[in-house]
Amino acid sequence: MRDTLTASPAQTKVPLRHLTGPRALDGALIEHLLERAAGFELVPESADGRLQGRLLATVFYEPSTRTRFSFEAAMHRLGGRVLSAENAARASSAAKGESIEDAIHVISGYADGIVLRHPEVGAADRAAQAAQVPIISAGDGPGHHPTQALLDLYTIRKELGRLDHLRVGLAGDLRNGRTARSLALLLSRFSGNQLVLISPPGLRMNEDITGSLEGVRVEETGDFAGSIPSLDVLYQTRIQAERFESPEEYEGYRGVYVLTAEVMRRLPEHAIVMHPLPRVGEIDPLVDADPRAAYFRQARNGLWVRMAVLDWALAR
């Protein structure tokens, strides 16, 4: 007699829909997810009951406000339920030395999908190898943040009407900033885009990304204020204090680029300012009232985009 309690998706050979990094996102999937997100935003009731009976585990080994809350809100709005480990580094058996592979193997037996944030580059890929349910990366150290890049695309298209032939300035800690790294890769898929990588010499975007930016014009500069007048999008980022070897090294970069109301005068009227948030001083709060400041609208868009991602990964 077949024991239905031990049947798993892996046994049915249905390919799992993992989203562990931006390279998993081809043009057709990006378009599908952005359209689905727009549908959920336009008609929120269209989400009702889509994931009823499904259970999502959110497993966060690093702090988060936007990513965890928006994934959990998205799951609830789709009719599903959530198990949450908001401090998995200390409050799960990782504190006793359990490997990510073992933890994910076990959690796979309790939930229908796992959203994972982890401090190690490649952790989401390792988790996907061990999982029997879809793994969605919520950020792997200084590696990638694929759903942030998707919501960034969604925001750009909503605000400016297109994803091609744009001049986008990515500013700040491009060595450690996973959001800028993922967004650069996705923007390079659309024709005619120009990327201006604005960082101090020690915080340049690594070759693993810049070497993959085919079909897009890339300029590297340290001149923040001088770059702004030619941009359609300024994507400002935080200096990632938690990724530095010492507080002294971080202090050497803190405050290197600050967007003030005065600097905003140099930004074209049609352009927008984005930031994945949290900000820690690199955008003066006085800028918030400027209609070109899109970062809080961007954070809100994370809800619709993560609804689309969960719907894609988990709907039967």
In the bound state with ligand CP, the residue whose beta carbon lies nearer, of 56 and 216, is: 56
Compute the least distance from the CB of residue 7 to ligand CP, in Å: 34
Cβ–Cβ contacts within 10 Å for residue 210, how many? 17
Applying CB under 6 A, does 65 fall inside the site for ligand CP? Answer: yes
Applying CB under 6 A, does 301 fall inside the site for ligand CP? Answer: no
Tell me, yes or no, if 67 is annotated catalytic: yes
In the bound state with ligand CP, the residue whose beta carbon lies nearer, of 80 and 139, is: 139
Compute the least distance from the CB of residue 129 to ligand CP, in Å: 24
In the bound state with ligand CP, the residue whose beta carbon lies nearer, of 64 and 301, is: 64
Which residues 251-280 are close enough to bind ligand CP by CB under 6 A? Answer: 276-278
- Selecting among 145, 158, 178, 306, the annotated active-site residue is 145
Applying CB under 6 A, does 206 fall inside the site for ligand CP? Answer: no
Tell me, yes or no, if 2 is annotated catalytic: no
Cβ–Cβ contacts within 10 Å for residue 28, how many? 8
Which residues 144-163 are close enough to bind ligand CP by CB under 6 A? Answer: 145, 148
Tell me, yes or no, if 145 is annotated catalytic: yes
Compute the least distance from the CB of residue 108 to ligand CP, in Å: 23
Compute the least distance from the CB of residue 268 to ligand CP, in Å: 25
Applying CB under 6 A, does 67 fall inside the site for ligand CP? Answer: yes
For residue 272, list its beta bridge partners. Answer: 233
Applying CB under 6 A, does 85 fall inside the site for ligand CP? Answer: no
Cα dihedral 213, 217, 222, 226, rounded to 10, equals -150
Compute the least distance from the CB of residue 101 to ligand CP, in Å: 24
Q: For tokens 């694929």, name the residue.
A: 146
Residue 127: both structure tokens together? 């988790």
Residue 211: both structure tokens together? 């070497």
Q: Give CA separation, 88 vs 73, 91, 93, 180, in Å.
A: 19, 5, 8, 25
Tell me, yes or no, if 105 is annotated catalytic: no
Could you report how far apart the first and last alpha carbons of the chain are, in Å?
26
Q: For tokens 């938690």, name the residue.
A: 242
Q: Give CA separation, 292 vs 71, 93, 296, in Å.
A: 26, 45, 11
- Selecting among 2, 90, 96, 265, the annotated active-site residue is 96
Cβ–Cβ contacts within 10 Å for residue 183, how many? 30
Applying CB under 6 A, does 64 fall inside the site for ligand CP? Answer: yes
Tell me, yes or no, if 96 is annotated catalytic: yes
Q: In what order do the strands lie in the sheet with 233-236?
A: 217-221, 194-198, 167-171, 233-236, 272-274
Residue type at 112 in one-letter notation: D
Q: Which residues bind ligand CP (CB under 6 A)?
A: 64-67, 139, 145, 148, 276-278
Active site residues: 66-67, 96, 117, 145
